[in-house]
Amino acid sequence: MTGPGDEVTGPGGEHPDAAADIAAVERANTAYYEAVERGDLDALTSAWLPDEELTVSCVHPGWPVLSGRREVLRSYALIMANTEYIQFFLTDVGVSMTGDTALVTCTENILSGGPAEEGASLGPLVGQLVVATNVFRRTPDGWKLWSHHGSPVLAETGEEEDEDPAP
């Protein structure tokens, strides 16, 4: 028998709404990446927590920490203005939750291109691997991004350096 305030869990120990919550977080995460791909700053803006909730933060690969909604959204506006094409293929996606906070980890397999050279339809395309952590908070308007941190995956050369060079 359960009473007020008792937490009800499913057979695996998860909350009965856990699957629905995880699916909602996955949709919010996908919507964030799709907004960046489309260059849709309005959709991207609505993906982030409003300022009055908590201070948002963002780390783009190679960038310093950006804090505050205005600074974070400005960074995306700059990226979108200078990126002709970008597409994310997400792999290794994992979602974990506690209360009203969700953590999404993934690998961003990014294909992007800058402005086209004269006479070309697209600029040169570049591939990059980034590991990302996205933190979401549950709000009355759904799951909103609180923090994004992306770090580049350094390419492995397949060659190990000798610790003791030969004389």
Map out the domains of the chain as residue ranges.
Answer: 18-151
Segment 114-163, tens digit of pLDDT: 767 777 666 677 889 999 999 999 999 999 999 999 999 987 655 555 55
d(CA 69, CA 141): 17
Cα distances (angstroms) measured from residue 82 to each of 30, 52, 146: 22, 30, 24
pLDDT in tens, 76-114: 999 999 888 899 999 999 999 999 999 999 999 999 987
Q: Say what the pLDDT of residue 8 is.
A: 36
Q: What is the pLDDT of residue 17?
A: 83
Residue 100 CB: number of other CB atoms within 10 A? Answer: 11
pLDDT at position 9 is: 38
For residue 61, give the nearest of 110, 125, 17, 12 by alpha carbon: 110
Indicate the class that CATH gives domain 18-151. Answer: alpha beta
pLDDT tens for residues 43-58? 999 999 997 767 999 9
pLDDT of residue 152: 94
* Of 7-21, 62-76, 131-145, minimum mean pLDDT range: 7-21
Residue 131: per-residue pLDDT? 98
Contacts of 119 (CB under 8 A, 6+ apart): none
Paired strand residues for 101: 98, 137
Q: Which of 10-14, 26-30, 66-70, 130-134 has the lowest mean pLDDT?
A: 10-14
